[in-house]
Structure 1
């Protein structure tokens, strides 16, 4: 109907079907059909065809005023949608394993560049966040996937290291000590189990602790082996901790950004967050 309303407004401005046809440009019969179609849609007569050239009826003048309001609203809506500065609420989910100060700083820095945007950031296990994203409860989800994940949504690789009490005497077997790990369904824990042989291997868990700082303290006190992103270990391990090399154990995960197809202007914010998170997880030499 918008095209028909625009034709009506042009008719009021030009005063004749011929002039409207020249301005669009359309043929005169095509313009006539648009006017007739609008009359059919509104079930009213808009033109008094007894006059030469036709003139708007009283109903036509009323529809003309409303048509101008509608077209002005449509143009305002287009301008709103095309606004260069993103605004609104952006709901982001972040995997627990990525919720450290480095990544948090990267997200905060990216979000600060868009002052009209309000961020709603929550953390969770990847499986939970993926489910919430698929239900439309999140606009973006930054999650951890297996190392063999391939796709344009990958931001980079999160490599994990095994840590132990400094100076601990590790003897016997492939994993001579129990583990201090996050509760299931921890992404790092699943990767560890898979690397050690999956269902054929049973992890001896000394403690299940979700808080990373408390995990490190438990490991420092010698209660078991723990996991830590190598990008954080590269900046210096806390006193009393050391990296352990278990031959053949690859603890790599892909960091993946899931994006809603309905972001509109907020797509700029999502791209900025994805870029800075990708940079944050790189291990600097």
Structure 2
């Protein structure tokens, strides 16, 4: 089993994004850090970083290892800290994301950390706006449904969300099952849509993935909150594509029904986005690692 010194060095490289920055934080020479990383990679049998002039890019193995050990190492350091300050848990982290995901998954996962001194300032909104806020330094971490393209932002995969097409029982009964099997686009074309935004981001993605074209359906309701989208569907306003984690309680209660069963469920990857190099700050690193650890328990959303 790798020693704590090797794992601590690995975690600093992962959070700093380069061996030189990690060496500076650890008070070691860069060759010493490089040697410890080489020993750890040899023990694990896998490369952990791809080195370039821009720094050290973590491999999938590195991201998984950081998610598993990060919080535990921080807590161990706090327990051994004779000053008793527990710096990893003290401070404010400005976190941002879509309202429904923050309410149903992210905040419940982070709530236990607040009992140990961590403070959270939450901003809700659309991914594009929140990533701009991250670039500008107005927030520290974004749970994003789109992969950031900004060079100054580092993104780590969090988990996948699965989309399902649902509608109220009354509209589900209006679909001809024979035509649905032969011509799903036509069989569903009479159904009004409930959309998250004017460009139908989730609905359009579902139709393109499953039926090969944009939906020809009319839009009955547009509301920028997926919980409100679900409420409108339950009330009979129309049908919509929603993340399974959000629709599951209504499906179990029978207030909505699955309208289409794809061969493979459409998925969308969620990312944790931070400014490059920002994970050197202990409270932010704690939140980042804690969410990645909890996401392993969520599975696909």
Q: Report the TM-score when normalising by structure 2.
A: 0.55
Task: Give the equivalent residue in structure 1 for 2:278.
Answer: 262
Q: How far apart, in 2, do the equivalents of 1:221 and 1:214 lie? A: 10
1:273 is the counterpart of 2:277: no
Alignment of 1:86-125 (within 5 A): 86-109=89-112, 111-112=113-114, 114-115=116-117, 117-125=118-126
Larger Rg: 1
Instruction: Name stretches of at least 5 consecutive residues in structure 2 with no aligned partner.
Output: 1-81, 148-153, 180-185
Partners of 1:231 and 1:281 within 8 A in 2: no
Answer 1 or 2: which has greater helix percent: 2
Q: How far apart, in 1, do the equivalents of 2:265 and 2:203 lie? A: 12
Give the structure, 1 or 2, with the largest relative contact order (CA under 8 Å, sep 6 or more). Answer: 2
Partners of 2:204 and 2:215 within 8 A in 1: no
Alignment of 1:187-206 (within 5 A): 187-192=201-206, 194-195=208-209, 196-197=211-212, 201-206=215-220
Alignment of 1:154-233 (within 5 A): 154-167=157-170, 168-171=173-176, 173-176=186-189, 177-184=191-198, 187-192=201-206, 194-195=208-209, 196-197=211-212, 201-233=215-247
Q: 2:288 is paired with a residue of what secondary structure?
A: helix
Q: 1:145 is paired with a residue of what secondary structure?
A: coil
Q: How far apart, in 2, do the equivalents of 1:226 and 1:191 lie? A: 11
When the two chains are superposed, the root-mean-square deviation of aligned CA atoms in Å is: 3.3
Partners of 1:209 and 1:215 within 8 A in 2: yes
Taking a change above 3 Å as real, the CA distance of residues 85 and 201 of structure 1, as seen in their structure-2 partners, is: closer
Taking a change above 3 Å as real, the CA distance of residues 281 and 180 of structure 1, as seen in their structure-2 partners, is: farther
Deviations 1:56-83 (A, max 9, x none): xxxxxxxxxxxxxxxxxxxxxxx99x96
Taking a change above 3 Å as real, the CA distance of residues 170 and 103 of structure 1, as seen in their structure-2 partners, is: farther
Instruction: Name stretches of at least 5 consecutive residues in structure 1 with no aligned partner.
Output: 1-78
* 1:257 CA displacement: 0.4
Partners of 2:193 and 2:217 within 8 A in 1: yes
Q: How far apart, in 1, do the equivalents of 2:155 and 2:137 lie? A: 21
* 1:203 CA displacement: 4.7
* 1:103 CA displacement: 3.5
Deviations 1:42-98 (A, max 9, x none): xxxxxxxxxxxxxxxxxxxxxxxxxxxxxxxxxxxxx99x96433222111112452
Q: How far apart, in 1, do the equivalents of 2:201 and 2:102 lie? A: 13
Taking a change above 3 Å as real, the CA distance of residues 256 and 186 of structure 1, as seen in their structure-2 partners, is: farther
Q: Name which of structure 1's ranges 269-278 and 186-195 shifts more when overlaid on structure 2.
A: 186-195
Task: Give the equivalent residue in structure 2 for 1:16.
Answer: none
Task: Give the equivalent residue in structure 2 for 1:25.
Answer: none
Q: How far apart, in 2, do the equivalents of 1:190 and 1:127 lie? A: 17
Task: Give the equivalent residue in structure 2 for 1:73.
Answer: none
Deviations 1:235-281 (A, max 9, x none): 55244211121546853110110123224122123211333245345
Q: How far apart, in 2, do the equivalents of 1:273 and 1:108 lie? A: 11
Alignment of 1:222-261 (within 5 A): 222-235=236-249, 237=251, 238-245=253-260, 247=262, 250-260=265-275, 261=277
Q: How far apart, in 2, do the equivalents of 1:104 and 1:223 lie? A: 30
Q: 1:227 is paired with a residue of what secondary structure?
A: strand
Q: Report the TM-score when normalising by structure 1.
A: 0.58
